[in-house]
Chains A and B, each alone.
Chain A
């Protein structure tokens, strides 16, 4: 294991190039090889004023933060994905967008991210470079700065090529008070677009099924979408990005935390034909597939149409739909009116979704 070294602690002047093709244990050894890797791959890509002093920590002027809002939001998430690069994104883009979205759905304006990377010995430097460049691009798109970080190299077999952790800091304006327990009977449930794209893309990209698709991950920063919605409809009760476990899991979390029932309408649930077809072939339920650019929103029923218009006016919300309604029936229960005319329970998954035998 390489000892802890902050990328801030390394000089950025006269940036050297890493001379090997692959990451070796030497790149985690604390010596010159590690400094070269950090300077060349990370500092070069993330360069910004908060990172530039290269101290062991990033420093912020409290007054500047306080002038924007009254609460600080802090979140962290670790990213492990196979394959590392997939149609529509890669682990780097995911690591930035995912953490930005975790801030944004709380009504926060995302400001700063950290970047902790665990690299497996033998990983190609060019691939690492590509992933880090993708993080830098995504950070720029999301309007956040990557201000501090850490790199470790572990022996081959100790991790799967690269694991990334990002923590994020944002600020929340006084008027927003979003909570998973805030849903009330009569509220409307909205999503900002097609569900399941990311999950289906990743499953297809693994190549196990030998299915070729035109699908792309929906991985995107949702901070402006969330702020557009909150500006148009300040009474929004709750927003959550429907990542692992999909929309079905978020709906169950809302129903349980708020002590309400939720009924969604299959007919109104937006799905791409490709995702539907993919799920039909494998016996999967798209409601449980991961998304990386989709949110489930709860808004008071009387503001539902205004919220819908606001989402649809945003480039990442053009396919937004009102998919359901909060009720006062069985607390904690999510049901779906099927297109066919029946009604069924949409429960939490126990484990992973498993393809069926026949």
Chain B
């Protein structure tokens, strides 16, 4: 398949892996004290597991799966708010697919649907707006979720609704911003990240310039990375090369998609529609200043939080959950006390176990926990592969 297979070429992968091994030797990292590279974005986590990249890398490189999975960092109280909105009989509650199974303190949206709530899966906020047009006697609420990647599409939908004067459409805004989050990780006392893979699709919107402070103030390299396996390997190679050469810079591996300055139209729509919240609550990470947005006052009529009463309860994460430590890279998913026991994809305690981008679900479904725990490198196939 054109534009896909080129980025999954195993011959090029082997070349890159040899180069990576050379750089690791030059830096002098050891398996006991590996270089920690955080992929910020859940899309990268998904690729890493889908292609088995973690097992291909030398043991001196440790991938830390960061907080860039919007479903995973959503606090339980916000899921409860979703359920409360969805259970309002006048409401058609619309959501992206992977948010539907995230556990609230009492139930998930999927369970609310089974209990009679009108919850519908959509692929775009525009689908929700279409539902609003088709159901003028119902209130259609869109569960707006995600980093800067999905923020513009929600913003443009709100502008469209305003332009058409649609009165039965609103959004429950849970959009979050990446920069304060990376800063919070860098400021964390247990921070131990040597370099970052920057989120590719967020960067198509914001560009690469906003990351400069990471190189300047924190002296860590960041490479904005694409999502194909060769993209990820090349980006790891670029981070290691910077470390080997004593540099800390912001580089763009995903230049075929990501313009340095971002997408002007998307940024303009975002600026027009949203304003920063003073703080936003993150699952596992706690409250982070200026890390979320809400609709500006002039769009108040489209704000589900103003249009309806939401409980807005602060629900503490289950005590046994160590989602925060996983998100910050302090522990690996399988080192969590409840991983694979009380917390599995069937009965998730934490959202990291729900989304296919969540580090814990990825470990559970694609990884090899037994071997990862032992840090055995490159598991040997059971026998020579396939006749």
From B52, B96, B145, name the one whose CB has the most chain A CB atoms within 10 angstroms.
B52
Q: Are A337 and B13 in contact (CB under 8 A)?
A: no
Contact of A357 among B14, B71, B387 (CB under 8 A): B71
Q: For the complex, what is the distance from the CA of A144 to the CA of B285, rounded to whole Å?
A: 62
Neighbouring A residues of B70 by C-beta, 8 Å: 357-358
Q: Quote the shortest CB–CB distance from B381 to chain A (angstroms).
A: 6
Q: Are A354 and B98 in contact (CB under 8 A)?
A: yes
Interface residue? B299 (CB, 8 A) = no
Beyond A340-B51, A342-B52, whether A325 also contacts B387 by CB under 8 A is yes
Q: Are B382 and A340 in contact (CB under 8 A)?
A: no
Q: Are B149 and A358 in contact (CB under 8 A)?
A: yes
Q: Are A341 and B14 in contact (CB under 8 A)?
A: yes
Beyond A342-B55, A344-B50, whether A327 also contacts B100 by CB under 8 A is no
Neighbouring A residues of B381 by C-beta, 8 Å: 263, 327, 335, 337, 343
Beyond A283-B356, A358-B201, whether A339 also contacts B99 by CB under 8 A is no
Interface size in chain B (residues, C-beta < 8 A): 54
Q: Quote the shortest CB–CB distance from A278 to chain B (angstroms).
A: 11
Q: Mark A139-170, 1 if CB is under 8 A from B, else 0.
A: 00000000000000000000000000000000
Of the four ranges (under 10, 10 to 19, 20 to 34, 35 or more), the interface on chain A belongs to 35 or more
Neighbouring A residues of B54 by C-beta, 8 Å: 342
Interface of chain B residues 328 through 386 with chain A (CB within 8 A): 345-346, 355-357, 364-368, 379, 381-383, 385-386
Q: Are B13 and A355 in contact (CB under 8 A)?
A: no
Interface residue? A345 (CB, 8 A) = yes
Q: For the complex, what is the distance from the CA of A208 to the CA of B123, rounded to whole Å?
A: 7
Q: Are B385 and A341 in contact (CB under 8 A)?
A: no
Contact of B123 among A301, A323, A355 (CB under 8 A): A355
Q: Quote the shortest CB–CB distance from A183 to chain B (angstroms).
A: 13
Interface residue? B97 (CB, 8 A) = yes
Q: For the complex, what is the distance from the CA of A254 to the CA of B285, rounded to whole Å?
A: 42
Interface residue? B283 (CB, 8 A) = no
Interface residue? B127 (CB, 8 A) = yes
Q: For the complex, what is the distance from the CA of A330 to the CA of B381, rounded to whole Å?
A: 11
Q: Are A261 and B382 in contact (CB under 8 A)?
A: yes
Q: For the complex, what is the distance from the CA of A350 to the CA of B103, rounded to whole Å?
A: 14
Interface residue? B28 (CB, 8 A) = no
Q: Are A327 and B382 in contact (CB under 8 A)?
A: yes
Beyond A344-B366, A357-B99, whether A322 also contacts B229 by CB under 8 A is no
Interface residue? B150 (CB, 8 A) = yes
From B71, B96, B230, B382, name the one whose CB has the most chain A CB atoms within 10 angstroms.
B382
Beyond A342-B53, A356-B356, A358-B43, whether A280 also contacts B387 by CB under 8 A is no
Interface residue? B46 (CB, 8 A) = yes
Q: Are B98 and A340 in contact (CB under 8 A)?
A: no
Q: Quote the shortest CB–CB distance from B348 to chain A (angstroms).
A: 9
Q: Mark B24-50, 1 if CB is under 8 A from A, else 0.
A: 000000000000000000010010011
Q: Quote the shortest CB–CB distance from A256 to chain B (angstroms).
A: 15
Q: Are B96 and A355 in contact (CB under 8 A)?
A: yes
Q: Quote the shortest CB–CB distance from B147 to chain A (angstroms).
A: 8
7 new A-B contacts at CB < 8 Å, known A277-B4, A340-B13, A358-B150: A268-B386, A325-B387, A345-B365, A355-B123, A356-B98, A357-B70, A357-B71
> What are 28 A-B contacts with C-beta separation under 8 Å?
A208-B123, A261-B382, A263-B381, A263-B386, A283-B46, A324-B386, A325-B385, A335-B381, A337-B381, A339-B8, A340-B52, A340-B230, A341-B14, A341-B52, A341-B56, A342-B53, A343-B52, A344-B366, A345-B366, A345-B367, A347-B366, A351-B101, A354-B121, A356-B357, A357-B70, A357-B71, A357-B146, A358-B146
List 9 tightest A-B contacts by C-beta distance, closest first: A342-B52, A327-B382, A354-B97, A329-B382, A358-B149, A344-B52, A350-B345, A265-B386, A341-B10
On A, residues with C-beta under 8 Å from B are 188, 208-209, 261, 263-265, 268, 273, 276-277, 280, 283, 301, 304, 322-325, 327-330, 335, 337-345, 347, 350-351, 354-358
